[in-house]
Amino acid sequence: MALAAAPLLRLSISPSSSPPPPPSVAQAAPVRLRRERRQPRLLATAAAATASLATPAADTERRKHELLRAVQETGRGFTASADQRAAIEEAIVSVEKLGAGEGSPLDLAALDGTWRLCYTSASDVLVLFEAAERLPLLQVGQIYQKFECKDSSDAGVVRNVVRWSIENLLEEQEGATLMVSAKFAVMSKRNIFLQFEEVAVENIKISEQLQALIAPAILPRSFFSLQLVN
């Protein structure tokens, strides 16, 4: 005991020519005080660890907002310049890295739901915007993708929903709905296999102008008119 305590006592007192006094309970107190001072450092380390756990969530939101800002004023991709497309691709890669862990599966529960199109580089969708640009009467409204896969781990159904209209014939922007349905199977974290099933046009709503035009021809005639016909 005396050999182990002697070095600590030499460090805590000033040098002198007299030999160090033997250890006592009172002299051992500084050693205990130094041990107690370590506790605030441990608490500070725990607080830093808690703060570091919150950082990924804040970083995730920051990357998502950067991507949303990048796709603004691009006409959903149709009017995007080369510089805008490059910036958007960088923002997409930045968001994708958040879920790039090896072996982590595609979270179908998070994918389930209806998603509104904000930007695309797919030629089969951009052609719709190009057609609306060339044909003044054609209007392309909101476009959605609806995933139905909440209770599955590797497959589901996806529906592409396109709201469109023809000026003066159908209600503005949403006069009709084009629905393309397909089954999908998860091939990897970044790829799904699609098997198209059907294409349908639904929810046709004619415009007020067209209603006023065709109403006299299809509405029941008045009692007086029926009497004349008879």
pLDDT attached to residue 159: 95
What pLDDT, on a 0 to 100 scale, did the predictor assign at position 91? Answer: 94
Same domain, 132 and 203: yes
Residues 112 and 164 in one domain: yes
From 79, 100, 121, give the residue that closes a domain: 100
Tens digit of pLDDT for each residue in 174-227?
899 999 999 999 988 778 899 999 999 998 888 888 777 776 665 555 544 445
Of the pLDDT bands very low, low, confident and very high (cuts 50, 70, 90), residue 6 is very low
- φ, ψ of residue 117 in degrees (nearest 5): -70, 125
Measured distance CA(67)–CA(60) in Å, rounded? 11
Instruction: Give the pLDDT score at 158.
Output: 95
Residue 31 in domain: yes
More confident residue, 96 or 162: 162
Predicted pLDDT of residue 151: 86
pLDDT in tens, 74-111: 999 999 999 999 999 999 999 888 875 555 677 898 89
Tell me which residue range forms the domain holding 88. 25-100
Same domain, 87 and 75: yes
pTM, 2 dp: 0.66
Q: Identify whether 114 is part of a domain.
A: yes
Confidence of residue 152 (pLDDT cuts 50, 70, 90): confident
